[in-house]
């Protein structure tokens, strides 16, 4: 099935072409410089963080005398000698902008709020000296009983003021309770999704350098503006004094949207020592100190008539949240736009635990939400004795069912039908447990995908040199998604020049500010900004060119300007009319009227075939296909990679991924990549992606919609539904690990 259907290019230029990664060669030859490897600042000192061994309580005594005398040690920082810092502030979910940039003090008090919270930073001449010296610090704590369980404490749940992204916690249409009770066909199911950890390949790392009152922070960031703002608020200095540099990022998955202790502590230590200091979180430290996805309980209730039409749809989510900084994942929000039903109810509730804050992680909301909800839709289809695609298509809404506005574009049914045909869905036996190959049970499952489309304020600068070289600059990041490549395509296309003449520079806060990489808004936001800047540059070129180019409809193509039947090479034009070069800035604003007047989402459908061993319950992926409709596809190669990654995380969420919390101690137990399981090549089998062509002119000037996180939305449910179709066993506690499947499987008389 490895036959990618490349999107037909919507134009003759580079946009829509499967261009190789511009930064690929640098990366595979080790020449792309990541945060911890930056060396232009000269000799650095190394910091190592010591973490707390209790989850809640206070430090009674911290003895650093022996550590301070250890060889090579330059400085030991604890709450007693750390710089004064602002109070943490209230735990409640602030507005999105406040959340991203709020002060996040570290080593500020003797209070311990979560296990492995930093209690000291040791700075030494070498990393090894810093780490070994940390073991010489003696800490005595008064531990308090922490609360760590979610499911036994739902009665303590409270309603936050809003969910992540400023969305409403609750929604209600019609009368859910009455309609659900009266529905002839009902599904009432509770699912559990576990804590998860982002696990980017590159750990969180920062090098801080001060020059007088000016700070340069080399770090690994998704959004530079958030790091600037967060550091400025934590340090109490103007953000104009802070430069953040992050040209290459080894993955983020949401864990690098805001500052973490590496950035704050490197900054403090470098100021005290008047020397550059680098601090990285170890892989183990990342689990407690770089965010996680919270554990959740999902209660899905679906009521339908006998034909399968939904009469009532209810979705309640309880999520764990930190006591000191609230995070309410918008888990049920997608369900407000997915299927038609006259009576609807969605609610989010939080249960406080003594853990670090939860953070945005790979499709916040939809990833855990669609895992549960699209499993419930599969349960409904089976109860109705109907095909899962038919039930979904029957409940396809004509307009957004809760907002009452039209969809800008919506290709969900087309995705499902295309996928069904290409995957051979008609071969699926709807009766579970019937298809066998030897001692293997074979099953097929599908699920729908939906994800909101976002746009964030972003600006870019584009210049053309006298020799026709194009330089594009913006503080956008490339977190492995292909940003360098697609922005090169956008600029080359807009200016009608070869890609080889375009250089894109990212990851420096000296460049115009963007919304960064997050929420799958990167391509749309940064791409629109580059397009706007190119439009500005073309106006300047036209003005400089003079008549006849300035009094006609000038076109830019083939490295030439064309108007009124005349044309001139841009290189000649620049030498003639702009020997010092030209430069323009442009940008895109926040989401405007088209977001108010239209429901903007991307869609998809996932198809999975698995085998399950009757005797061992070993689940193997056999085939997976995702059909994706996400507006215009800038680059089918990088887009396909994004979707493949999302599908892989979907497999992980269904079958493997979980951060296990020891609820006695509040400690994440499996805090390394040996014990935190994610799918590797051997686990994913044959995968394919098909794009359905769309151009969404409501979304932005380029007609593109976010797709990075769409691949994970619903992907896990398709796997879970395939496991059900193979076995007839529904595991509602994710991941579907062997220990959960085997008892029920062994009880069957195969």
Do residues 232 and 238 lie in contact, with contact meaning Cβ atoms separated by under 8 Å?
A: yes
Nearer to ligand MOS, 276 or 480 (CB): 480
Nearer to ligand MOS, 518 or 631 (CB): 518
Residue labelled with tokens 């902008």: 97
Nearer to ligand MOS, 276 or 365 (CB): 365
Nearer to ligand MOS, 368 or 519 (CB): 519
Nearer to ligand MOS, 257 or 277 (CB): 257
Nearer to ligand MOS, 194 or 708 (CB): 708
CB of 96 to ligand MOS, least distance (A): 11
Directed axis angle between helix 522-545 and helix 483-495, to 10°?
30
CB of 519 to ligand MOS, least distance (A): 4
CB of 372 to ligand MOS, least distance (A): 18
Residue 128 CB partners (closer than 8 Å, separation 6+) = none
As given in the structure block, the two tokens for residue 627 are 């059909």
Residue 88 CB partners (closer than 8 Å, separation 6+) = 103, 104, 105, 108, 324, 325
Residue 32 CB partners (closer than 8 Å, separation 6+) = 23, 26, 247, 248
CB of 627 to ligand MOS, least distance (A): 23
As given in the structure block, the two tokens for residue 237 are 């200095």
CA 99 to each of CA 168, 200, 647, 670: distance values in angstroms, whole numbers, following the listed order: 16, 22, 29, 28
502-505 and 686-691 beta bridge pairing: unpaired
Nearest residue relative to ligand MOS (C-beta): 254
Question: Which sequence positions are flagged as catalytic?
Answer: 709
Please measure the distance between the N-terminal and C-terminal CA atoms of the chain and give it in whole angstroms.
31
As given in the structure block, the two tokens for residue 531 are 């397009």
CB of 254 to ligand MOS, least distance (A): 3
Do residues 301 and 180 lie in contact, with contact meaning Cβ atoms separated by under 8 Å?
A: yes
CB of 556 to ligand MOS, least distance (A): 34
Nearer to ligand MOS, 44 or 257 (CB): 257
CB of 339 to ligand MOS, least distance (A): 24
Measured CA to CA, the distance from residue 287 to residue 668 in angstroms comes to: 7
Q: What b/e sequence results for 13-22 when a residue is b if at least 16 CB atoms lie within 10 Å of its CB, and e otherwise?
A: bbbbbebebb
Residue 371 CB partners (closer than 8 Å, separation 6+) = 191, 193, 653, 654, 714, 716, 717, 720, 734
Q: Where on the chain is the footprint of ligand MOS (CB under 6 A)?
A: 222, 252-254, 257, 360-362, 364, 518-519
What secondary structure, in 3-state letters, does 393-429 show? HHCCCCCCCCCCCCECCCCHHHHHHHHHHHHCHHHCC
């Amino acid at each position: 099935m490895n036959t990618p259907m490349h999107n037909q290019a919507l134009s003759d230029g580079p946009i829509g072409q499967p261009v190789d990664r511009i930064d690929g060669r640098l990366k595979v030859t080790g020449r792309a410089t990541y945060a911890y490897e930056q060396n232009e600042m000269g000799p650095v000192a190394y910091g190592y963080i010591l973490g707390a061994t209790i989850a809640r309580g206070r430090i009674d005594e911290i003895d650093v005398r022996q550590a301070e005398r250890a060889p090579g040690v330059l400085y030991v920082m604890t709450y007693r000698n750390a710089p004064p810092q602002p109070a943490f502030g209230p735990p409640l979910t602030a507005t999105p902008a406040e959340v991203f940039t709020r002060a996040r003090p570290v080593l500020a008090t003797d209070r311990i709020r979560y296990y492995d919270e930093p209690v000291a930073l040791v700075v030494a001449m070498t990393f090894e000296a810093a780490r070994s010296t940390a073991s010489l610090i003696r800490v005595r704590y008064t531990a308090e009983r922490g609360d760590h369980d979610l499911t036994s404490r739902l009665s303590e749940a409270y309603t936050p003021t809003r969910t992540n992204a400023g969305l409403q916690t609750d929604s209600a249409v019609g009368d859910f309770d009455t309609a659900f009770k009266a529905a002839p066909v009902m599904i009432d199911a509770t699912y559990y999704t576990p804590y998860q950890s982002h696990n980017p390949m590159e750990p969180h790392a920062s090098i801080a350098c001060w020059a007088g009152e000016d700070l340069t922070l080399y770090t690994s960031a998704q959004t530079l503006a958030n790091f600037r703002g967060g550091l400025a608020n934590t340090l109490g200095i103007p953000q104009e004094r802070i430069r953040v540099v992050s040209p290459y990022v080894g993955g983020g998955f949401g864990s690098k949207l805001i500052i973490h202790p590496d950035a704050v502590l490197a900054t403090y230590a470098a100021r005290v020592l008047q020397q550059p200091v680098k601090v990285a979180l170890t892989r183990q430290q990342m689990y407690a100190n770089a965010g996680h996805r919270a554990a959740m309980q999902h209660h899905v209730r679906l009521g339908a008539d006998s034909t399968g039409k939904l009469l009532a749809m209810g979705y309640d989510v309880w999520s764990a949240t930190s006591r000191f900084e609230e995070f309410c994942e918008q888990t049920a929000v997608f369900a407000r736009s997915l299927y038609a039903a006259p009576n609807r109810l969605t609610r989010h509730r939080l249960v406080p635990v003594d853990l670090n804050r939860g953070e945005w992680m790979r499709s916040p909301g939809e990833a855990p939400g669609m895992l549960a909800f699209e499993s419930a839709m599969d349960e409904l289809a089976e109860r109705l004795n109907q095909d899962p695609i038919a039930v979904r298509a029957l409940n396809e809404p004509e307009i957004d069912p809760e907002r009452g506005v039209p969809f800008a574009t919506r290709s969900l049914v087309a995705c499902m039908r295309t996928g069904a045909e290409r995957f051979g869905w008609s071969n699926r036996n709807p009766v579970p447990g019937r298809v066998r190959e030897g001692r293997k049970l074979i099953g097929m499952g599908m699920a729908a995908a939906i994800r909101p489309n976002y746009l964030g304020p972003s600006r870019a600068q584009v210049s053309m040199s006298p020799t026709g070289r194009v330089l594009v600059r913006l503080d956008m990041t490339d977190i492995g998604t292909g940003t360098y490549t697609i922005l090169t395509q956008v600029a080359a296309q807009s200016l009608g020049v070869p890609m080889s003449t375009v250089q894109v520079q990212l990851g420096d806060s000296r460049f115009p500010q963007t919304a960064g990489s997050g929420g799958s808004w990167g391509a749309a936001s940064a791409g629109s900004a580059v397009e706007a800047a190119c439009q500005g540059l073309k106006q300047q070129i036209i003005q400089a060119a003079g008549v006849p180019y300035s009094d006609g409809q000038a076109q830019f193509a083939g490295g030439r300007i064309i108007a009124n039947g005349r044309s001139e090479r841009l290189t000649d034009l620049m030498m003639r009319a702009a020997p010092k070069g030209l430069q323009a800035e442009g940008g895109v604003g926040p989401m405007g009227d088209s977001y108010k007047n239209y429901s903007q989402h991307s869609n998809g459908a996932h198809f999975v075939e698995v085998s399950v061993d009757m005797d061992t319950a070993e689940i193997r992926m056999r085939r997976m296909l995702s059909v994706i409709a996400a507006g215009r596809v800038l680059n089918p190669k990088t887009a396909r990679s994004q979707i493949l990654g999302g599908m892989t995380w979907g497999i992980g969420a269904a079958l493997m991924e979980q951060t296990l919390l020891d609820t006695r101690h509040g400690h994440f137990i499996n805090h390394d990549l040996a014990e935190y399981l994610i799918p590797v090549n051997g686990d994913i089998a044959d995968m394919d992606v098909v794009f359905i062509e769309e151009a969404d002119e409501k979304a932005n000037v380029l007609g593109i919609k976010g797709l990075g996180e769409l691949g994970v939305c619903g992907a896990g449910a398709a796997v879970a539904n395939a496991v059900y179709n193979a076995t007839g066993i529904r595991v509602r506690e994710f991941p579907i690990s062997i220990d959960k499947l085997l008892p029920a499987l062994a009880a069957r008389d195969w």
